C-alpha cells in the first residue's frame, strides 16, 4: 500500500481517474492511512476524503459530514429516490469551484470500518450527497462528471482553463 502525503490531489492528476483496489488488510498500516486521511480532510476544511485524493489506490473513504464521522472501506452504494438538484457541490480536488450536482435523494453505503467490521451508513440530504460523492471518487469519477451537458462543459472549462 503506497503511503500518501497529506497533499490533496487535484483534477488532472491521473490517480483521480483510477478505480480503487479493495482493502484486504485491516492492520496498523491501514489504520495509519485512515488517520492521515482524517488529518488531511480536517486541514482542508472538508467533509469527506477518498484515498485516491491523497494518492492511495485503496477503496476507502473518511467523512465527517452532517454529524456523522466514519470510515468506509470497500463501499457498496444503494441509491433511493429520484435525482434532485442539490445545493452547489464542491470537492477538495476541485478547489475554488462548486456546481449544482444532481444526486439521489437518499443513499445507503455498506462496507467495513478501519478494523474490518461491517458498517452501514444511510442518510438523505447532505449525508446522501457525501456518500455518493466519495463512492464516485473510488470509481475514478469526480463530481464534474455528474453535471448535465452544457453545465459540465462550462465547469470543465472553468476548472482546467
Which residues are marked as active site?
134
Give the model's pLDDT for residue 139.
98
State the pLDDT at residue 158: 94
For 53, the grid coordinates are: 485524493
Q: What is the DSSP string of 101-120?
A: --EEEEEEEEEE-TTS-EEE
Domains located in the chain, CATH noted: 14-160 (3.90.45.10)
pLDDT at 110: 98
One DSSP character per residue, 3-32 reads PP-SPPP-TT-GGGGSPPBPP---SHHHHH
Between CA 138 and CA 143 the distance in angstroms is 12
Running along the chain, 161 residues long, what does each successive block of 10 average in pLDDT? 67 96 98 98 96 97 97 96 82 96 94 98 95 98 94 93 77
Amino acid at each position: 500500500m503506497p503511503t500518501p502525503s497529506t497533499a490533496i490531489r487535484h483534477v488532472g492528476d491521473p490517480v483521480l481517474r483510477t478505480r480503487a483496489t479493495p482493502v484486504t488488510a485491516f492492520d496498523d498500516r491501514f489504520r495509519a492511512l485512515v488517520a492521515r486521511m482524517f488529518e488531511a480532510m480536517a486541514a482542508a476544511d472538508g467533509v469527506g476524503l477518498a484515498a485516491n485524493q491523497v494518492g492511495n489506490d485503496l477503496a476507502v473513504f473518511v467523512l465527517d459530514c452532517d454529524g456523522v464521522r466514519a470510515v468506509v472501506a470497500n463501499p457498496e452504494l444503494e441509491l433511493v429516490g429520484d435525482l434532485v438538484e442539490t445545493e452547489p457541490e464542491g470537492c477538495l480536488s476541485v478547489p475554488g469551484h462548486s456546481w449544482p450536482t444532481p444526486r439521489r435523494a437518499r443513499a445507503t453505503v455498506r462496507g467495513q470500518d478501519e478494523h474490518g467490521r461491517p458498517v452501514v451508513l444511510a442518510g438523505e440530504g447532505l449525508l446522501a450527497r457525501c456518500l455518493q460523492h466519495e463512492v464516485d471518487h473510488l470509481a475514478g469519477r469526480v463530481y464534474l462528471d455528474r453535471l448535465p451537458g452544457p453545465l459540465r462543459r462550462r465547469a470543465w472549462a472553468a476548472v482546467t482553463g
